[in-house]
Amino acid sequence: MLTEYVLSDADFTAISSLINEAAGITLQPSKKTLVYSRLVKRLRATGVDNFTSYRKLLEHDRAELTHMVEALTTNTTSFYREPHHFQHLEGYLRTQILPAARAGAPVRIWSAACSSGEEPYSTALTVLSAFASVPAADVKILATDINTSIVEKAKRGIYSAAAAERVPLSALKSHFDPVNDQPEPAFSIGKRVRELVHFRTLNLQGAWPMKNAFDVIFCRNVMIYFSQETQSQLWQRFANVLKPGGILYIGHSERVAGPATALLQNIGPTTYLRQTGGRS
């Protein structure tokens, strides 16, 4: 097959090093075709005529480095993806969190790789169902992602009818509004759900500015892009910002490893309980 550009092994290695440094993502040689297909659009957009010139551009152009990271990060998601997590979350909220919430205790949840928003909005819908008897509960859901453009899309909260198919009909009627100015049928996230979710751009490899611990953290299908060493460090960081008794939900192909296993107990499929002891 003829290609517009040539991605040499040297260029691939250099680009892999840059994204690892910027975002902690490890690109195996098997990803070379994916890298080519994702970045060829950036070469056209920047006007450079080969990958060697492009990776040299990346070395001094921070804005383009951000575009490169966004192009190479995957944003596959859906409403209620891994349904067992949301079933478990609703039970956990009702039995473990609701009594304290009734007394005014804050409830804090973090969607640590929120992509286009389906995960934190599904979480908010689950919260509203579990806390129906306490409509004024102090609940905040932090939703973060490294990809600025995908975070902006999540903030807009507009989804096609096909994307919303997995949303229960009762929730769709109560918490979504029809959108009439789209070429295809679409829905917009309603006010009550939006009020619970706060979007921010965040690189998990950088500083975490959050001051308070979380009751629940979702970090799903992200660790698979990191080295084992980086994974181990991040699991420990998540354990450190989870309240004792808090819950961590991870991706179906991921497993907690490293020192964090002393604090995070596997209690179900890709579901971990933060045990007492250690930093919190």
155: tokens are: 């903030």
Q: What is the mean pLDDT of residues 182-201?
A: 94
CA distances to 121, 159, 215 from 108, rounded to whole Å, are: 14, 25, 6
Of 38, 94, 166, 194, the catalytic one is 38
88-121 b/e (C-beta count within 10 Å ≥ 16 → b): bbbebbeeebbeebeeeeebbbbbbbbbbbbbbb
pLDDT band at 142 (very low <50, low <70, confident <90, very high): very high
Rounded to two decimals, what is the model's pTM? 0.86
Predicted confidence (pLDDT) per residue in 204-216, tens digit: 999 999 999 999 9
Of 108, 145, 220, 274, the catalytic one is 145
pLDDT at 84 over 90: yes
Q: Is the dihedral of CA 247, 252, 258, 262 positive or negative?
A: positive
Any catalytic annotation for residue 166? no
- At 188, is the secondary structure helix, strand, or coil? strand
The Cα 107–Cα 137 span in angstroms is 8
The Cα 263–Cα 75 span in angstroms is 29
pLDDT at 238 over 60: yes
Distance, C-alpha 246 to centroid of its chain: 18
CB 85, CB 218: distance < 8 Å: yes
Q: Which CATH architecture has domain 83-274?
A: 3-Layer(aba) Sandwich (3.40)
> Tell me, what's the pLDDT at 2?
43
- Mean pLDDT, the chain, integer: 92
Any catalytic annotation for residue 61? no
**Considering only the top CATH level, what class is 9-72?**
mainly alpha
**Residues spanned by CATH 3.40.50.150 within the chain?**
83-274
The Cα 226–Cα 27 span in angstroms is 9
**Residues spanned by CATH 1.10.155.10 within the chain?**
9-72
> Please, is 231 exposed, middle or buried when counting C-beta atoms within 10 Å of its C-beta (0-12, 13-18, 19+)?
buried
Q: What is the mean pLDDT of residues 64-80?
A: 86
